[in-house]
């Protein structure tokens, strides 16, 4: 029997009806979907809220829903630029991203994306991407041949660091290494410029000193966009270095998925920030 998800219950029964009545007054909100593994694997002992895997069947349903409801799936790079000039927005835009560079993105997600001609951005932890197959958290990762093939067929790539560390625990020099070397490695292999970065693990939004330093390092490495695990949608005026995303997983049935892409799940981001703030007060990170 599946565990009760209070986030789903409140989203589909409270926030969805409320937001249908009290609209955002025409403000453009663009969901950036955050997937990880596209497989039948499940995280043992984890509540469904914390699951990061999405089965191929569920992922296929999500993509079919976008297609049938005439959402326009757009590149992350393009939509950020369009928001800056505040015009020429696509109709019902959605951005698709994947973290961690797992092999099943190629074997499972890629064919579905091709079926609908959907672009996506895949963020790679480059220490685990080799010509010889490697594993990250026990799962097989992409090879450079697979990355190159996808790159030639509409898929964009960005950095997810070299070693997937908790950056907040590293020195300034080590953070520079993680951002610079991963970018260089991807650019060398796919022969394209890389300007997007995905922050691994929970984003420490309460640590202003760390965020300032990270922002400076990312800009120094010539990144233009940084996505995070903060929950919410992309809006006009959003900083391109702290973009929020919508987490997706195997428990996102079509009713919840539809609510998420309509911005009706964004309330969870406020709860997320609240608990992070409390944690930061109780156990302040030193940096």
For the domain that residue 113 is a member of, what is the CATH number?
3.20.20.370
| Domain assignment of residue 126, yes or no | yes
d(Cα 130, Cα 145) in Å, to the nearest integer?
9
Cβ–Cβ contacts within 10 Å for residue 143, how many? 18
Q: Find the radius of gyration of the CA atoms of the chain.
A: 18
| Domain assignment of residue 234, yes or no | yes
Instruction: Give the H/E segment covering residue 79.
Output: helix 76-85
The residue written with tokens 């009713």 in the block is 255
Identify the bridge partners of residue 231 per DSSP, sorted by sequence position: 245
What is the per-residue pLDDT for 26? 63
| Domain assignment of residue 178, yes or no | no
On whether the pTM is more than 0.85, the answer is yes
Pairing of strands 155-159, 120-124: parallel
What is the per-residue pLDDT for 29? 86
Three-class SS state of 40: coil
Residue 88 belongs to domain spanning: 6-160+194-211+225-276
What is the per-residue pLDDT for 239? 82
What is the per-residue pLDDT for 287? 33
- Phi, psi (5° rounding) for residue 229? -95, 5
User: If you write DSSP's letter for every residue of 178-232 in order, what string do you get?
Assistant: HHHHHHHHHHHHH-S---EEE--SS--TT-HHHHHHHHHHHHHTT--EEEEEEES
Q: What is the 8-class DSSP label of residue 20?
A: H
What is the per-residue pLDDT for 50? 87
C-alpha count within 13 angstroms, C-beta hemisphere, residue 17: 5
| Domain assignment of residue 35, yes or no | yes
Closest CA to 235 of 128, 89, 123: 89
| Domain assignment of residue 176, yes or no | no
| Domain assignment of residue 182, yes or no | no
230 and 269 Cβ atoms separated by less than 8 Å: yes
d(Cα 4, Cα 13) in Å, to the nearest integer?
14
The residue written with tokens 């959402």 in the block is 71
Low-confidence ranges of the chain (pLDDT < 50): 1, 284-287
What is the per-residue pLDDT for 100? 98
What is the per-residue pLDDT for 21? 72
Number of domains in the chain: 1
What is the per-residue pLDDT for 86? 62
| Domain assignment of residue 169, yes or no | no
What is the per-residue pLDDT for 87? 61
| Domain assignment of residue 220, yes or no | no
- pLDDT tens profile 252-268: 999 999 999 999 999 99
């Amino acid at each position: 029997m599946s565990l009760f998800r209070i986030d789903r219950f409140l989203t589909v029964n409270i926030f969805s009806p409320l937001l249908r009545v009290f609209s955002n007054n025409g403000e453009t909100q663009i969901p950036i979907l955050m997937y990880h593994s596209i497989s039948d694997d499940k995280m043992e002992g984890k509540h469904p809220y914390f699951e990061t895997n999405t089965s191929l069947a569920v992922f296929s349903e999500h993509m079919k829903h976008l297609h049938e409801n005439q959402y326009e799936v757009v590149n992350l790079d393009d939509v950020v630029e369009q928001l800056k000039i505040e015009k020429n927005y696509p109709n019902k835009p959605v951005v698709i991203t994947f973290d961690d560079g797992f092999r099943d993105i190629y074997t499972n997600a890629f064919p579905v994306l091709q079926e609908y001609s959907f672009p996506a951005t895949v963020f790679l932890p480059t220490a685990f991407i080799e010509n010889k197959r490697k594993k990250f958290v026990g799962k097989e990762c992409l090879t450079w041949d697979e990355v190159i093939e996808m790159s030639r067929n509409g898929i964009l790539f960005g950095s997810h660091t070299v070693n997937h560390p908790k950056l907040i625990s590293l020195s300034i020099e080590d953070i520079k290494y993680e951002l610079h070397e991963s970018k260089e490695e991807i650019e060398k292999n796919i022969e394209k410029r890389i300007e997007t970065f995905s922050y691994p693990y929970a984003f420490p939004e309460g640590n202003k000193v760390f965020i300032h330093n990270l922002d400076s390092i990312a800009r120094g490495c010539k990144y233009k966009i940084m996505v995070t695990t903060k929950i919410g949608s992309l809006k006009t005026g959003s900083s391109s270095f702290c973009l929020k995303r919508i987490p997706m997983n195997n428990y996102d049935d079509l009713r919840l998925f539809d609510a998420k892409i309509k911005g009706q799940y964004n309330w969870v981001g406020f709860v997320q920030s609240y608990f992070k703030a409390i944690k930061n007060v109780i156990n302040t990170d030193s940096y």
